[in-house]
Amino acid sequence: MSDSYDVVVIGAGPAGYPAAIRAGQNKLKVACVDEWKNFDGSYAFGGTCLNAGCIPSKALLESSELYQRAKDEFSVHGIKLGGVELDLAAMQRRRASIVKTMTGGITALFKANGVLGIQGHGRLLPGNKVLVTGADGAEKPLQAKHVILASGSVPVRLRTVPHDGKHIVDSWNALEFDAVPARLGVIGAGVIGLELGSVWRRLGSEVTILEALEQLLPIVDQSIAKEAQRHFKQQGLNIKLGATVSSAAVNGAAVDVVYTDAQGEHGLQVDKLVVAVGRRPFTEGLLAGGTGVELDQRGFIQVDEQCRTNAPNVWAIGDAVRGPMLAHKGKEEGLMVADLIAGHFAEMNYKVIPSVIYTAPEIAWVGQTEEQVKTSGRPYKAGSFPFSASGRARAMEAAQGLAKIVSAKDDDEVLGIHIIGPMAGELIAEAVLAMEYSASTEDIQRTIHAHPTLSEAIHEAALAVDKKSIDGINR
């Protein structure tokens, strides 16, 4: 006999668990199945984001930045400290405790919203049945009117760089190092490479990042990427562009890496090597034959704009489907699908998804880069404002970077907002709201921003678009 549900969600990451909660709020009978196990063998809800991604990385980014500021910046404020010492074990305990609190919170949220959380493996069978295999190997079929697939993603591995989890590692291992590697190598100068490279650099590692492309952060507006490159260099992140790794081998306690760039072949020895070359959708063991769910050529579950798969009443969301691999993108898809299942109106605006890179300074953007607008052929105007002219940023000893707005010349619509600077990840929320409401540049120009705040940089950048900046130089 199988239990019957209105909705069964497979995966309780930031896409799946909000979908389950919203389905519960919509008074549907819902179960959410998740198989995530931490290194100690314990099950935990929250997926990559809470256990091995967004949250632990931000905990370490915060701690390592404070450590560095205590060492290098406090004296500028007139605060004299004795010796500043790193207690990595305490830092890692704090990270682990934040993760535990947050993942435990999902269990409580499930209870509060009438969601049955099940720990085990879920497999979709034909006819919208989900076969759950529990920790003890016992199998239980669930019958569902609707199934939401939210199985997430896993790191891409390189054939020539054999992962051993100890010396050659992925981002999850690199969040749980129990000693600061003297020499850290990272393959890939993407979001993970830059964030984790920053953490370990601040804590004392000599960091070398090998990036295959000739250009750093090609998806970012290039004036912002260039500014970022300058700061990363000053911070001692040794980023080698156009570097192709041909092999890596563990040699005693070290790793020998061979890579080639425009200058020829080089050898690099490091103590730990992190592979951060992207993530791929995870669907292993998810689909039995005959479900009708199709994957695309890159292994993503094929869906339409509203996250419907090819199979009736089977939906898919999050990293397992097309679009940016971001927690907030998956969450919004989850809410949309749970509302559509309940018969409510719901849609998702894929054009206005913010991105944030939590380096120092932070990088955040929404909408199109100047390069993309140029390529589209639409006449545009752009303006920027440097944080060096922001009183608040100066007071914070964080007067680095800039805010930039790209707008249409014809109707003044804001097409993209790009920030590198203090709290850029928070500042971008205003930009997202403005673009969600199809704001014009003039709308932002006429919006009163409190003084002195970092958000004034957005106001001034909007003024600069029409060469009317007051505190900056209009170019």
Residues that bind ligand NAD (CB under 6 A): 158, 187-193, 195, 210-213, 245, 276-279, 324-326, 356-358
**Helix pair 88-112, 16-25: axis angle to 10 deg:** 30
- 53 belongs to the binding site for ligand FAD (CB under 6 A): yes
167 binds, among ligand NAD, ligand FAD, none (CB under 5 to 8 A by kind): none
445 binds, among ligand NAD, ligand FAD, none (CB under 5 to 8 A by kind): none
In the DSSP assignment, the letter for residue 468 is -
Residue 235 burial (CB count, 10 A): 15
- 362 belongs to the binding site for ligand FAD (CB under 6 A): no
Cα(430)–Cα(365) distance, integer angstroms: 11
308: left (phi over 0), alpha (psi -120 to 50) or beta: beta
Helix (H, G, I), strand (E, B) or coil at 154: strand
Under rule CB under 6 A, which residues in 255-314 are in contact with ligand FAD? 282, 285-286
Q: For the CB of residue 452, give the shortest distance to ligand NAD in the complex, in Å.
A: 27
Nearer to ligand FAD, 13 or 185 (CB): 13
151 binds, among ligand FAD, ligand NAD, none (CB under 5 to 8 A by kind): ligand FAD
The residue type at 122: G
First to last CA, the chain: 72
Helix (H, G, I), strand (E, B) or coil at 221: coil
- 49 belongs to the binding site for ligand FAD (CB under 6 A): yes
200 binds, among ligand NAD, ligand FAD, none (CB under 5 to 8 A by kind): none
Taking the CA atoms of 135, 136, 137 and 140 in sequence, report the sign of the dihedral they define: negative
Contact with ligand FAD (CB under 6 A) among 9, 16, 144, 291 = 16
Residue 119 burial (CB count, 10 A): 19
Nearer to ligand FAD, 84 or 135 (CB): 135
In the DSSP assignment, the letter for residue 100 is H
| 163 a catalytic residue | no
The size of the interface with ligand FAD (CB under 6 A), counted in residues, is 36
Catalytic residue among 121, 418, 451, 459: 451
- 318 belongs to the binding site for ligand FAD (CB under 6 A): yes
Q: What is the DSSP string of 316-337?
A: E-GGGSSS---HHHHHHHHHHH
Contact with ligand FAD (CB under 6 A) among 7, 32, 35, 392 = 35
Q: What is the DSSP string of 445-466?
A: HTS---TT-TTHHHHHHHHHHT
Cα(424)–Cα(416) distance, integer angstroms: 14
282 binds, among ligand FAD, ligand NAD, none (CB under 5 to 8 A by kind): ligand FAD
Residues near ligand FAD (CB under 6 A)? 10-16, 33-36, 47-49, 53-54, 57, 121-122, 150-153, 171, 192, 282, 285-286, 318-320, 325-328, 330
User: Catalytic amino acids?
Assistant: 451
